Amino acid sequence: MDVTKDYVTTIEVKSPYARFTPRELYLKFLYEYFRDELNLPDEVEDMYLPAGFKKLKYQEEAVLNARKVLEEYGGAFLSDVVGLGKTYMSALLAQHLNEPSLVIAPPHLLDEHNPGSWPNVFRDFGVRGFLCESLGKLASLLDRDLRKFTTVFIDESHRFRTEETQSYEMLAQICRGKRVVLVSATPLNNTPQDILSQTSCSSPPKTAPSPTSATSKPSSARSAAGSRGSTASATATNTSRSFAKMPARPARRFSSSS
C-alpha cells in the first residue's frame, strides 16, 4: 500500500498524538482500559471484613472486577491457584451482590466443623440468604424452589467439564437464567472444550433474556477478560454464553492479622 508524503507528514507532525512516543501511547491505552480498576470506587470502603482479617488491595480489586464481569457477561471464573482464598473472595463478592446466593460445593467444604467451609466463611463475612448444597445432591435441588437465588457459586467447577453426564444436565437446569461464578484452580484440564462446557452449563434458554440484560452495558466483542493474562480464557459465540475469567493478579489470601 502506497502512502503519500502528505499523509505521513500529517501523522508525524500535525497529528495531536505526534509528540507522544509509542511507549507513551501504549501507557495511555492501558490507563484508559483499566481506569475503573485503577481508581477504585468508594464502595471499597463498604466492604465488611470479619475481625482479624486484613483488607488487601489485590483482593478488593479482584472482587470488584468479578462483579463488573458478572454484570456484563452473566458469569465469571475465579481461578486462582490453590491456597489464594477463592472462598473468601467469593464471600466478598456475594456480600457485594447482596442477593440470595446458591453455593454448590464438595461435601468436605460444607462441613460446619471446618472453619474454612463455605457456610462458615459466608456467615463470617456477613452474607445473608444463602443456601449451600453438596455436588452429589443436585437431584434434591431440582425438587426445591430456587427462583429466589440469582447467583450460583460452583466450587470445583472443573468437575463439570464434560457435558455428556447426568450431573451436568442437572446443574444446567439449576443454573438456567442465573448468574454463575465458577470456582476452580484448574478450569482447563485437557482441551479448551473444558472451558466451553463449564460456561455453557449456565446458558439461559434462547427464548429467555440474559439475566444481566437490564444492567449490561453495550460492549465490543471483547472475548474473555482472561485474555489479559490468565491461564485460561473462556469465549463463546453469543453474549448469553460469554464468560470472562478474572485477571491473574498476584493476589494474596485473606489472612488473619497477627
Q: For residue 37, what pLDDT is reported?
A: 67
Give the contacts of 38 (CB within 8 A, at least 6 positions apart): 31
pLDDT band at 242 (very low <50, low <70, confident <90, very high): very low
Sign of the C-alpha dihedral computed for residues 61, 153, 118 and 94 taken in this order: positive
* Distance in Å from the first CA to the final CA of the chain: 65
Q: Which three cell numbers, joined as nine digits, stand for 234?
A: 473462556
What does the pLDDT average to over 33-50? 70
Residue 108 has pLDDT above 50, yes or no: yes
Give the contacts of 110 (CB within 8 A, at least 6 positions apart): 103, 117, 118, 119, 132, 133, 134
- Tens digits of residue pLDDT in 56-104: 777 787 888 888 888 888 888 888 777 778 899 999 999 989 899 999 9
CATH class of 33-245: alpha beta
- Global pTM exceeds 0.75: no
Lowest mean pLDDT among 49-63, 98-112, 162-176, 234-248: 234-248
Closest CA to 82 of 254, 253, 232: 253
